[in-house]
Amino acid sequence: MTVSDRMSPVNDGELYELHGRALVAFAASLVGPSDAPDVVHDAAMALFESGTLAEAVNPRALMYRAVLAKAKSMQRSIIRRRNRERLFAESVVYNDPEVLPEVVAAVVGLSQQQRACIFLTYWEDMTPAAIGELLGIAEGTVKHHLAVGRDKLRRVLE
């Protein structure tokens, strides 16, 4: 047990202040730096709302376990969402008998924005200006996503 474990902060805010930075660093090692603050926030809010943190014998350990649980939940959600997106993209593209399965797999591997621009360009026969208007982004942004997407497709398919 460390000194910080034996300290008895009076309230949830003090506990968060005491352990927040370390929890974000821990979460970053689990989900990456961009999602870490959200994971810690969600875990802390769940603990604060449940009231279990105030009664915990070792609040620090409980906070770390809560962050780990939220990180696992986030990863599961991401995997489920990617699988849904992949299955949907495959079903849309597989309905076109002229499209090869390796092309479908390559398109599914693109980012969402790249995939949207590639799909609208090649399956819907839209111009970058029309795509930009439809998606609410600049024509230059569409052209950028098309260029990056084409480059990725070229590398994967060669």
Does the pTM surpass 0.75? The reply is: no
Round to whole Å and give the CA distance between 61 and 12: 14
Return all residues near 111 (Cβ < 8 A) that are at least 6 apart: 145, 149
Domain ranges of the chain: 3-79, 96-157
The DSSP result for 81-121, as a single string, is HHHHHHHHHHHHHHTSTTS-HHHHHHHHTS-HHHHHHHHHH
Per-residue pLDDT at 143 exceeds 90: yes
pLDDT score of 93: 57
CATH entry 3.40.50.970 includes domain 96-157: no
pLDDT in tens, 90-122: 666 556 666 677 777 788 788 889 988 988 998
Per the CB < 8 A criterion, the answer to whether 142 and 131 are in contact is yes
